[in-house]
Structure formats: structure tokens, C-alpha cells
A and B are shown apart, each in its own frame.
Chain A
Amino acid sequence: MKRLTKLILAVGVLLFALAGCGFPGIAGTDRGTIKIAAMSATESSVMANMLAELINHELGYPTTLVANLGSTTVTHQALLRGDADIAATRYTGTDLTGTLNLPVEKDPKKAGAIVKRVFKQKFHQTWFPTYGFADTYAFMVTNQFAAQHHVATISQLKSLAPSMAAGVDSSWMNRKGDGYADFTTTYGYDFKRVYPMQIGLVYDAVAAGKMQTVLGYSTDGRIHSYDLTVLKDDKHFFPPYDASLVVNDSLLKKYPKLAPVLHRLDGKISVAAMQELNYQVDDQLKEPAVVAQEFLVKHNYFRGGED
């Protein structure tokens, strides 16, 4: 029995050592590696790969992805526990109402300021300025429809709405605060018919002409490939979902050169650019890693000015 205890002890010690030291050849097993969390959505994966490539190429620090995380909550926990150091995509709207449990704030600037302040105080994390795109709900029509009826904003649909069919995300229909009921009050009109459906199907539905307008996500790659026009939310009805990266302060302290490099992406990726990147992954069979690298090379790693 003595031997067995010794053995178990040895196994325990080894496992403990395992958690600490690295395996040569596998990125992410070493303590110094910068770990970037990515959610399973294409957009998140592309941005995480972009950060990894940027850090790796410009500073030479080893990086690894903690990929396929299911939700913002999981990502948040991973950062708090130190399983990851950087969250590639966080959205002001989601974190404001979800993570922080605060009321909806419709002014993007104010929403950004609140999450930035509270995350600093509560979690010692730095919320970076937005990449420049927001992944929010947006009404969209075909380019042909937009040209024919001269519409560019949601308000301009008012006269057409009584004859229009709209497809929307089923979870949006009965949502409080920014759902359909509140939408009709804010914009002052109703569509003739509203079809609640799965969000992934709306793009095909509008492109096929089955309905005149649909509510989809503003950065989806299919907006580009199906020739759709996103209508401007001129009454600022939908809460802002500006995308940013969030970093643990401990990492920024450890690598002082990191912040300036990460700031190179501030405001550099427009909604159209993100749509194009998503399109290349979702439609052109390219890996997010490949798309991210090509994008950075094309823009010379955003070296303008800082260096």
C-alpha cells in the first residue's frame, strides 16, 4: 500500500507540474503565451486570428487561440479566470445588459463609456475603443428595391409598410425594450405581415423576394453576396452593439508594448470591411486565420504613424 500512495503522489505532482510547464511544439502550453478568446461566430474567429497575427508579427510574442467559446458569458469567465487574456469581440449592448445587468443605453458613445468605466473598476480589464463596426440588428432590403423606391432609412419605409411583408428573428418579436411592439411605437408604422423566423434564413428569404424586408445582423457576409442594402436606423431604435476587444490589465502591465499595437485597430474596420471578411469565410471556404492574415498584409499591419 505504501508503494501505491507514493505512486499516487508522484502522479499528482506530475499533473501539477503539467499545468505549469509547457510542451515544446504546442502553442499555448507555456505561461508566457498570450491567449486570445474567440467565440464560435465567424466574426469573432476572424478578429481573434487578426489579433494573434498582429501581435505575433509585430512584437513576436507567442499567441494562441482559445476558440469556439459558446457565449459572451463563457468568454467573460475565461478572462476572469485567466484562461484567456484578450477577448477578441465584445459588444457594448450585450455586456451592458448581460454581463453588467444595467439598463439599455441607446447612445453608442454613452454605452461605450459605461462599459469601459465599469469593467475597469469591477474586473480590472481595459475595454478598447471600437474596431469601427457594430454587429446590430438591421432592416435590409434588396439593392433593387432600395433603388426603385428610393429608400435609405427605416423611416422612409413608412408609406410602403402597409403593403410590405417583413421577416424577423423570432426572439426579437416579443422582446421587451427593443422588440417589435416598441419598434412600431418608435417609428409609427406597422408592416402588413411579419414572419418570425430563424435568423439564418432571413437573408435567403429577402433575396428570393419572398418578403420585401428582413431584420438581420449588420455584419453578415450574405449582405454583400446577396446584394442587400442595410437601411439606416435614423431614430436610433436599436441599441448599439459596437465591437471592441477587451484585455486583462495584468497582461497590459506585463507587456507594455502591447497596448499601442492593439490600438492600431481602433476604428480601422468598417461594417463593410467586416461584411467582406465574413463573406470570405462563410462563402469562399477560407479559414478565418487565412482571411485575417491577408487583411493585415493588405493594410501593412496598420503601421501608419505609430512606428
Chain B
Amino acid sequence: MSGKAPKDPRFPDLSYAVLPGARSTRVSGGRTIEELEPEYKIKGRTTFSALFKYDPFDFWVGPFYVGFWGFITVLAIIFGTFFYVDAVIIKGPYSLPQNFFAGRIDPPPASVGLNLVTPGQPGFTWQMTVFFATLAFVSWMMRQVDISMKLDMGYHVAVAYGVVVSAWITLQILRPIAMGQWHEGFVLGVMPHLDWVSNFGYRYKNFFYNPFHAIGITGLFTSTFLLGAHGSLVLSASQYRGSEGSDIEDTFFRDVQFYSVGEAGIHRLGFIVACGGVLSANMCILLSGWVVQDWVSFWNFWTTLPFWSNV
């Protein structure tokens, strides 16, 4: 049982301790949202009130918390959605439902380089949509920080979301800057972005041979496996009333595969695998075209390693 066995004193302790009294807050059957929510709806304790002693948007709208970053998020969503819906759905070349699939916003032409496009020129809508989408994503992440501060918990959710945002930023901002033109960003639109991904893979010969792509895919498959294993284990253990109690989870997995990572451990492992997979996917995109032009001949280094080059 993790958290109960002795630790190794030679290494730093990155484990956890459950606060005294935390377990005694448990209520059989649980409380309703109406019962518990008022206890947690306190004023202050947000990023903005920590900096400026005051957060002008420190309130809730229905179930949603707003906060300063929620305000920014709403603005960015309104502007970004306007540019996308106007260009793709309304002004698209087909009927409205067809535009949903086939409509597209192309990045600026290669001649623009890294300049900003003036209104009315090709690529302006793309730059505006990407700008406001990035603003919305980052503000949403900061809003998660606000909510985590309010609830006096760790920032892991915001970090995990930040990893997803980093994939967007890598694709639409970092790699285009590395390549020297906004033209390298991907097309916005449902089917066009699939075509872009497909073409991107073959542009660098074969993305299946990209090792960071392989690690990223492995991370996604492992995440799905861990999610299925953890979800099914908790669902089955939730109906268990035998003498083992919660230990049945560890007992079962030790019988199945000789090791159970533990109740806390599975969440740590899942977080690491999911985020690690996406970070590796970032690398596979960033390196393509910037450092590596051809993932097939990339592997020539392997066959020409000195200790077996003559084998």
C-alpha cells in the first residue's frame, strides 16, 4: 500500500501526507452541491488579488467561476469565434453544413514571412484567429490556476492543460518562427486540418519513422490503456464489500501482473504518461523541417555507427 510502507531515506521524499482531519470530513453518501458549495465560495485567493489585493471579477455566473482570467477568456473566445465563424461558416464557398467540414482559414502565404498581415490581406483572419485562440487558451489555463488557488489544491490540472496549450503554441507559433514564416502554421478547419496533418507527415517522407512521433503515440496508447485499467478497476472495486476493503485493488493487480502502482501512484503515473506523450509529440513537430528534413534517411546514423558499420 503506497503511503504506508517505509521510504528510502537516501533519496528525496516526493511523496505526500494526508492532512489530519481530512479523512474525517467524509460523509456517507456524500453531500449535494447545494450543501457543500457555499463552504468553498470564499472571496479572494486568486492570482489577481494576490498581486493587486483586488480582483474585479471575483464572482461566479451560475456554476462558472469568472475571475480576471475568465473575463479575458470570454473576450478572446468571442473575438476568436467571430473570426472563425465569419470566415469559415458564413463566408465559406459552400452551404453552411458543408462549410462546417470543408471551410478553411489558410495561414499567410510564404512571402509574408514573420510579418503581421494587414486587414483584408491573405492570412489576416488566420493570424487574428490564432492570436485570440492562444489568448483564450492561456487565460483558461490561468483561470484553472485561480480556481486551484481558491480551492487550496495543487496546480496539476493547470499544468496538464498547459501541456496541451504548448502543443498548440508549438504548432502555430514556435515552429513557424523557427521556420521563418507564418505559412508553416496549420490550416484551421475540420477536414482541411486533417489534410494538413496527412501532408505534413509525408512532406518529411514518413512520419511513422519519426522517433518522437513514435514515443508520442506510445504515450497516447499507454494513456488509453491506463485510463481503461484504472476506470475498470475502480468501478469493480466500488461494488466490493469484502474484508480486504480498498486493498482489493492492490491485491487484484498484484495477482494479475505482480505489481500494483497504488491508489495515489496510478494518478501520478497517468499524469506523467499523458503529459509526457504530448510533450514528445511537440518535439516531433518542432524538429520536422527545422532540424530534420527526412525521417527515413534520419536513421542512416544508426547503420553507420562505428562499432557495427562493417556488419
| A and B form one complex | no
